[in-house]
Chain A
């Protein structure tokens, strides 16, 4: 056990399993170094994309901070509207302080106690805890006040801007082996035959196949390397020869249905993460701003001329009369491995960016919903009584309303009002938040039994009587036992979220154009299913079916791997997607 305290057992009789993880690495650094070097090399190959990811993460964090920072003022404005300016100011201040305090509760235990000792107060343990939180709140509010109301704020945002600008600049300049610059596949025919502007003069189809193959080869190498890292840890650095987790992994490895699910989910995730590399044309050129981007092609008369994407798209629609089918070129020398959509855009680009949209929404919704469910289940099973009843009431209320209809109504209300939360991803973020809101009761209900059982265990009593704070008791002694359940339900529900997102977009209530989404493709192609343009609605439909089957298989396999005896009722989880 790596977490065991070594000081209590004494220094002289030190057995192998008493040592900390750090010490074991120090003693035998070679395997770890080799593995880390390999990882660094792999990351270096794709350094451009790594930085792009970091830049995006910055953007997301910035957005969340901005929304949170806006809450006190908007609350204050609302109050000021009914009760007058002074009350508004008070409301702003109170909200800010409350939010800062909520932030300090999970953070304060990791701070040293000495911070409180400066004041020289003689406090009980409980008192110290509260003093620390209050102190931290004070610091946070002061800092926030400085940023919001003094010139420091300008300097602060300038600093943030400089950092994000730096990351963006790095992203633009750093290379990666799957980049479009290295293996370009957009070019045009030459009058004398052959291609201009593509990788090594190969045809766009071949160049695209090479780049896509490289993406998948890279992704597979990466995951194999991660697996190797786990093995290195297991053979060289883990104190115990065997842990129950080994059995979990072994059971998962022998479950072929689960491995099938894992493979498809892996494909889907790679498609989403490497969407810019997998798509044959740049989404920015082809979908988002087709007006602003020109490209060259060879006309029938044998001249090379240039045109905009918007015009070329108009001519290459798959709408029954014209069709750019699977594995073909349109009239403008653009390679379309999955054909074009009913609006002439590239289907493969749509599919990969749509995977990105679906994955973002699915992970955000399930992650947030699972977080709410876990926190509430811990709190309600630890405190019981009123907290429990309040949670039952809240979840009963949400579950009494048909989920899909609830999601539709809330989505329409926010979109009609043009609420700022409906802006990111053209409504995708809003949808994810609504899904989290609608789905947490189901997850909470499914982990309620296990968490009630855990809260009755003797070790929880022991932790309490040792004077552990409620937060620590929940985090260290209860949460690990329900983590497995939430994993199972999460992966079973994510398929439901993907189906529902597609269904809402199909109906025109979900994600608005131009953000690509699979449901919109099906909507666009629904009139052409029995024509030559059958692929428009069929391809994304098959993609949805595969991904949903895969997530269900993965969830089943995780359940069997974690606990083969587990009696997890999956009908509820599966039901949520079934309505769509």
Chain B
């Protein structure tokens, strides 16, 4: 089977998966143990109200008709309106307005581990069985086992403490960089993302950074949660980077390069570094999974009004259709990323085949 056939097969398989996810959601929200009317109105509602809601939600239709309606609505992103969290507002609208904060968080949560985890892992792999290697490896193991929610709680407490003079390594987080204490803003909160404007270059709008202070504030807001959200990936990158480095260092072509008399620098950067990056690619792409799951916790603790927090609110406040819709949006994102990953593999690495 050729690579493209394999890719096409994966693509085709996505369609039934999408339908079974929708069926699952339908069962959970409509046909499951919970009564949608009671969830909407509470148990004390009068009979007339209940009947009106039943009619409005289409619960009096036959089940298969409800199912078809449900699926067509979801596939056309017509999710209806939120019940409680932001009552009567379009769910898609809410999701779109909450997405930038999550994207900002996610981007940093991917970037930070990349620039910390991989160099550390490569360093450990280049100097195996030294003190530095043991420290980095042990750090990675502990870092991976730290629960995000606990880490967030502890980090927030430590950062808050710096305000009252209890300085952390001589740093006052409030005054470091853009001064939060003077501006009287909290060290948690939603990044406003209002630091760029667009200018027209040849009739095309091109964004540029217009307000560097605002950018700095947004980065400072997002750094701690992003570091915590990326902690698990950072540890994974460290470990896999170390193994990849060790394997590459001991491979034949590096020996050849040494025999050719190349300098250490050239060997490391040109021959080792690039080859060791290959096994790291799937780790980086699969991070989206962690980020979406973890964003609920981190956003909730750090008060960031992103998609994760809204999902959490819709669950705790009984806004089940919104929770279902958001879960569907997350699923679509993940399916899209899977396809992208398969596509990249197909293009980049000829070794991936059906048997994997």
Contacting residues, chain B, for A577 (C-beta < 8 A): 147, 232
Tell me the residues in window 399-416 of chain A with beta carbons closer than 8 Å to chain B beta carbons. Answer: 400-406, 408-410, 412-414, 416
B345 in the interface (beta carbon within 8 A):
no
Measured CB to CB, the nearest residue on chain A to B312 is A507
Contact check: which of A396, A402, A506, A545 meets B13 at CB < 8 Å? A396
Given A396-B17, A404-B296, A537:B289 Cβ within 8 A: no
- A522 and B153 contacting across the interface, CB-CB below 8 Å: yes
- B318 and A416 contacting across the interface, CB-CB below 8 Å: yes
What is the bound-complex CA distance between A190 and B316, given in angstroms? 50
Tell me the residues in window 273-287 of chain B with beta carbons closer than 8 Å to chain A beta carbons. Answer: 282-283, 286
- A405 and B286 contacting across the interface, CB-CB below 8 Å: no
B37 in the interface (beta carbon within 8 A):
no
Contacting residues, chain B, for A574 (C-beta < 8 A): 144, 232, 235-236
Tell me the residues in window 285-337 of chain B with beta carbons closer than 8 Å to chain A beta carbons. Answer: 286, 289-290, 292-294, 296-297, 300, 311-312, 315-316, 318, 320, 323-324, 327, 330-331, 334-335
What is the bound-complex CA distance between A545 and B292, given in angstroms? 22
What is the bound-complex CA distance between A541 and B282, given in angstroms? 30
Contact check: which of A393, A408, A519 meets B17 at CB < 8 Å? A393
B146 in the interface (beta carbon within 8 A):
yes
Tell me the residues in window 541-557 of chain A with beta carbons closer than 8 Å to chain B beta carbons. Answer: 541, 544-545, 548-549, 552-553
Given A401-B330, A545-B146, A507:B289 Cβ within 8 A: no
Contacting residues, chain A, for B233 (C-beta < 8 A): 578
What is the bound-complex CA distance between A575 and B286, given in angstroms? 9
Residue-wise, chain A 519-537 has the 8 Å CB interface mask toward B (1 for contact) of 1001000100110000001
Interface hub of B148, B149, B166, B240 (most chain A Cβ within 10 A)? B149
A419 in the interface (beta carbon within 8 A):
yes
Given A402-B330, A509-B316, A571-B283, A502:B335 Cβ within 8 A: no
- A548 and B331 contacting across the interface, CB-CB below 8 Å: no
What is the bound-complex CA distance between A526 and B147, given in angstroms? 14
A109 in the interface (beta carbon within 8 A):
no
Given A412-B315, A506-B149, A578:B144 Cβ within 8 A: yes
B266 in the interface (beta carbon within 8 A):
no
Tell me the residues in window 229-284 of chain B with beta carbons closer than 8 Å to chain A beta carbons. Answer: 231-233, 235-236, 240, 282-283
What is the bound-complex CA distance between A462 and B178, given in angstroms? 74
- B232 and A578 contacting across the interface, CB-CB below 8 Å: yes
Contacting residues, chain A, for B39 (C-beta < 8 A): 416
| Closest-CB distance, B121 to chain A (whole angstroms) | 13
Contact check: which of A397, A413, A419 meets B21 at CB < 8 Å? A397
| Closest-CB distance, A398 to chain B (whole angstroms) | 8
What is the bound-complex CA distance between A412 and B323, given in angstroms? 10
A162 in the interface (beta carbon within 8 A):
no
- A571 and B286 contacting across the interface, CB-CB below 8 Å: yes
- A417 and B35 contacting across the interface, CB-CB below 8 Å: yes
A76 in the interface (beta carbon within 8 A):
no
- A393 and B315 contacting across the interface, CB-CB below 8 Å: no
Given A393-B17, A405-B327, A530-B166, A545:B147 Cβ within 8 A: yes
- A402 and B147 contacting across the interface, CB-CB below 8 Å: no
Contacting residues, chain B, for A401 (C-beta < 8 A): 21, 24, 327, 330-331, 334
- B236 and A575 contacting across the interface, CB-CB below 8 Å: yes
- B153 and A404 contacting across the interface, CB-CB below 8 Å: no
| Closest-CB distance, A314 to chain B (whole angstroms) | 25
Tell me the residues in window 408-466 of chain A with beta carbons closer than 8 Å to chain B beta carbons. Answer: 408-410, 412-414, 416-417, 419
Q: Which of B154-162, B179-187, B214-222 contacts A (4 or more CB under 8 A)?
A: B154-162
A88 in the interface (beta carbon within 8 A):
no
A493 in the interface (beta carbon within 8 A):
no
Measured CB to CB, the nearest residue on chain A to B320 is A413
What's the count of A-B pairs with C-beta under 8 Å? 171
- B148 and A503 contacting across the interface, CB-CB below 8 Å: yes
Contacting residues, chain A, for B290 (C-beta < 8 A): 575, 578-579
What is the bound-complex CA distance between A495 and B154, given in angstroms? 20
Given A400-B331, A402-B334, A522:B289 Cβ within 8 A: no
What is the bound-complex CA distance between A423 and B145, given in angstroms? 30
- A413 and B236 contacting across the interface, CB-CB below 8 Å: no
B209 in the interface (beta carbon within 8 A):
no
B20 in the interface (beta carbon within 8 A):
yes
What is the bound-complex CA distance between A412 and B322, given in angstroms? 13
How many residues on the A side are at the interface (Cβ–Cβ under 8 A)? 50
Contacting residues, chain A, for B235 (C-beta < 8 A): 574
Measured CB to CB, the nearest residue on chain A to B150 is A541
Contacting residues, chain B, for A393 (C-beta < 8 A): 13, 16-17, 20
| Closest-CB distance, A126 to chain B (whole angstroms) | 34
Tell me the residues in window 479-520 of chain A with beta carbons closer than 8 Å to chain B beta carbons. Answer: 495, 499, 502-503, 506-509, 519
What is the bound-complex CA distance between A413 and B289, given in angstroms? 23
Contacting residues, chain B, for A60 (C-beta < 8 A): none
Contact check: which of B13, B34, B145, B327 meets A495 at CB < 8 Å? B145
| Closest-CB distance, A205 to chain B (whole angstroms) | 28
Given A506-B149, A575-B286, A409:B327 Cβ within 8 A: yes
A142 in the interface (beta carbon within 8 A):
no
A292 in the interface (beta carbon within 8 A):
no
Measured CB to CB, the nearest residue on chain B to A389 is B13
B169 in the interface (beta carbon within 8 A):
no
Tell me the residues in window 2-29 of chain B with beta carbons closer than 8 Å to chain A beta carbons. Answer: 13, 16-18, 20-21, 24, 28-29
Contacting residues, chain A, for B18 (C-beta < 8 A): 400
Contact check: which of B20, B33, B294, B312 meets A579 at CB < 8 Å? B294
- A571 and B240 contacting across the interface, CB-CB below 8 Å: yes
B98 in the interface (beta carbon within 8 A):
no
B32 in the interface (beta carbon within 8 A):
yes
- A409 and B324 contacting across the interface, CB-CB below 8 Å: yes
- A580 and B294 contacting across the interface, CB-CB below 8 Å: yes
| Closest-CB distance, A437 to chain B (whole angstroms) | 10
Residue-wise, chain A 353-375 has the 8 Å CB interface mask toward B (1 for contact) of 00000000000000000000000
Measured CB to CB, the nearest residue on chain A to B34 is A417
Contacting residues, chain B, for A397 (C-beta < 8 A): 17, 20-21, 24
- B315 and A529 contacting across the interface, CB-CB below 8 Å: no
What is the bound-complex CA distance between A408 and B300, given in angstroms? 14
Contacting residues, chain A, for B33 (C-beta < 8 A): 413-414, 417, 419
Contact check: which of B145, B150, B153 meets A549 at CB < 8 Å? B145
Contact check: which of B147, B236, B318 meets A571 at CB < 8 Å? B236
What is the bound-complex CA distance between A207 and B75, given in angstroms? 65
B142 in the interface (beta carbon within 8 A):
yes
- A530 and B300 contacting across the interface, CB-CB below 8 Å: no
- B147 and A509 contacting across the interface, CB-CB below 8 Å: no
What is the bound-complex CA distance between A137 and B249, given in angstroms? 63
What is the bound-complex CA distance between A287 and B114, given in angstroms? 45
Contact check: which of A405, A413, A499, A578 meets B296 at CB < 8 Å? A405
What is the bound-complex CA distance between A541 and B29, given in angstroms? 34
Contacting residues, chain A, for B148 (C-beta < 8 A): 503, 578-580
B141 in the interface (beta carbon within 8 A):
yes
Contacting residues, chain A, for B232 (C-beta < 8 A): 574-575, 577-579
- B150 and A537 contacting across the interface, CB-CB below 8 Å: yes
- B292 and A402 contacting across the interface, CB-CB below 8 Å: yes
- A502 and B315 contacting across the interface, CB-CB below 8 Å: no
Residue-wise, chain A 565-580 has the 8 Å CB interface mask toward B (1 for contact) of 0000001001101111
Contacting residues, chain A, for B160 (C-beta < 8 A): 530
Contacting residues, chain B, for A402 (C-beta < 8 A): 289, 292-293, 327, 330-331, 334
Contacting residues, chain B, for A394 (C-beta < 8 A): 20
| Closest-CB distance, B320 to chain A (whole angstroms) | 7
| Closest-CB distance, A269 to chain B (whole angstroms) | 18
Show 12 residue pairs from A and B whose CB-CB distance is below 8 angstroms, ordered by the A residue: A394-B20, A396-B17, A400-B331, A408-B312, A416-B320, A419-B33, A503-B149, A508-B316, A522-B149, A530-B160, A538-B154, A545-B150
Q: A400-B338, A548-B145 are in contact. List 10 more A-B contacts (CB 8 A).
A: A393-B13, A401-B24, A402-B331, A413-B33, A417-B34, A530-B157, A530-B160, A541-B147, A541-B154, A544-B150
10 A-B pairs with the lowest CB-CB distances in the bound complex, closest first: A578-B232, A579-B293, A529-B157, A404-B293, A417-B33, A548-B145, A417-B34, A541-B150, A397-B20, A549-B145
